[in-house]
């Protein structure tokens, strides 16, 4: 990928995440880059092509954020997986926030997204099986698959949930990220009944790492413009 193409994607991602893809035009992206619209169209024929390229980059990075186990796992490895989930929500938050819109308007993207979900769930299952083999969780195969699906649904929908309740938070990156961290806390709560050994011993520490303050969570149900700051 050329330097200009990468810069277009980086700039578009920042604008989409902050303002929403529907509120950003290719002219906005070109202006932010200091290039002409014609130069942008040379690399990407329209905004849909930019969204498609960002999705490709997102799915490639997700597998980097959530590597398959290569041996016994520890609770610190579990924390690194939580960081991977947080990073996936953070970097791809514009996709998560408006996913139904993207999938309905682009059948090809919908097809690719289905393949991506299947591959991601396969990776997630290998991680949960690794955690079980390492004695960090205890769950039957059926429970493991149910936990995996619920974890996926929570992580995929949480950015849209928080943004829908309080879209003004997108203008404050510290607050926006704090609210997404609360999503990881909710995943930890989902997993809590299945934790064993050192993972259970460190449950409070894991919760404390991602739990947002009560004041921050309250901002989901109030107007950010008149409410106090986050954490």
**111 and 138, same domain (yes or no):** yes
CATH of the domain at 11: 1.10.10.60
Cβ contact 8:40 at 8 Å: yes
The domain tally of the chain equals 2
Confidence of residue 171 (pLDDT cuts 50, 70, 90): confident
Q: For position 221, what pLDDT does the model report? A: 86
Q: For position 231, what pLDDT does the model report? A: 44
Q: 3-state secondary structure string, 59-83?
A: HHHHHHHCCCCCCCCCHHHHHHHHH
Global model pTM greater than 0.75: yes
**59 and 169, same domain (yes or no):** yes
List Cβ neighbours of 220 (8 Å cut-off, separation of 6 or more): 162, 165, 166, 179
Q: For position 205, what pLDDT does the model report? A: 97
**38 and 110, same domain (yes or no):** no
**56 and 170, same domain (yes or no):** yes
Cβ contact 128:187 at 8 Å: no
The closest of 42, 14, 91 to 29, measured between CA atoms, is 14
CATH of the domain at 188: 1.10.357.10
Phi, psi of 44 (to 5 degrees): -140, 120
**121 and 41, same domain (yes or no):** no
Characterise 229 by phi-psi region: left (phi > 0), alpha (psi -120 to 50), beta (else).
beta
**26 and 117, same domain (yes or no):** no
Instruction: Let me know if residue 122 belongs to a domain.
Output: yes
Instruction: Let me know if residue 228 belongs to a domain.
Output: no
**184 and 87, same domain (yes or no):** yes
Residue 57 has pLDDT above 70, yes or no: yes
Parent domain of 201: 51-221
Instruction: Let me know if residue 62 belongs to a domain.
Output: yes
Cβ contact 28:47 at 8 Å: no
**204 and 101, same domain (yes or no):** yes
Q: For position 225, what pLDDT does the model report? A: 53
Residue 15, token pair as written in the block: 């604008």
Instruction: Let me know if residue 96 belongs to a domain.
Output: yes
Handedness of CA 164, 170, 175, 180 (dihedral sign): positive
Instruction: Let me know if residue 226 belongs to a domain.
Output: no
**125 and 212, same domain (yes or no):** yes
d(C-alpha 96, C-alpha 164), whole Å = 11
**66 and 20, same domain (yes or no):** no
- CB neighbours of residue 19 within 10 Å: 14
Instruction: Let me know if residue 229 belongs to a domain.
Output: no
Q: Tell me what percent of the residues of the chain surpass a pLDDT of 90.
A: 90
Instruction: Let me know if residue 153 belongs to a domain.
Output: yes
Confidence of residue 228 (pLDDT cuts 50, 70, 90): very low
Confidence of residue 226 (pLDDT cuts 50, 70, 90): very low
Instruction: Let me know if residue 95 belongs to a domain.
Output: yes
d(C-alpha 12, C-alpha 189), whole Å = 34
Cite the DSSP H helix spans in the chain: 3-19, 26-33, 37-43, 47-65, 75-91, 93-97, 99-105, 107-133, 141-165, 173-191, 197-201, 203-210, 214-218
């Amino acid at each position: 990928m050329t330097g200009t193409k990468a810069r277009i994607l980086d700039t578009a991602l920042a604008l989409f995440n902050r303002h929403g893809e529907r509120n950003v035009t290719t002219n906005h992206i070109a202006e932010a880059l200091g290039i002409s619209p014609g130069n942008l169209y040379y690399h990407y024929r329209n905004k849909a092509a930019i969204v498609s390229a960002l999705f490709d980059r997102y799915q490639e990075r997700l597998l980097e954020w959530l590597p398959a186990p290569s041996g016994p796992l520890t609770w610190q490895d579990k924390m690194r997986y939580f960081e991977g989930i947080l990073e996936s929500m953070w970097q791809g938050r514009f996709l998560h926030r408006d996913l139904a819109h993207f999938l309905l308007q682009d059948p090809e993207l919908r097809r690719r997204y289905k393949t991506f979900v299947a591959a991601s769930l396969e990776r997630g299952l290998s991680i949960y099986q690794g955690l079980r083999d390492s004695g960090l969780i205890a769950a039957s195969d059926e429970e493991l698959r149910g936990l995996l699906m619920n974890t996926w649904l929570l992580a995929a929908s949480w950015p849209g949930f928080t943004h829908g309740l309080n879209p003004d938070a997108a203008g404050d990156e510290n607050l926006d990220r704090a609210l997404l961290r609360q999503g990881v806390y909710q995943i930890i709560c989902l997993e809590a009944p299945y934790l064993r050994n050192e993972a259970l011993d460190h449950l409070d520490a894991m919760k404390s790492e991602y739990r947002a303050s009560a004041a921050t969570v309250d901002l989901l149900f109030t107007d950010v413009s008149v409410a106090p700051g986050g954490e």
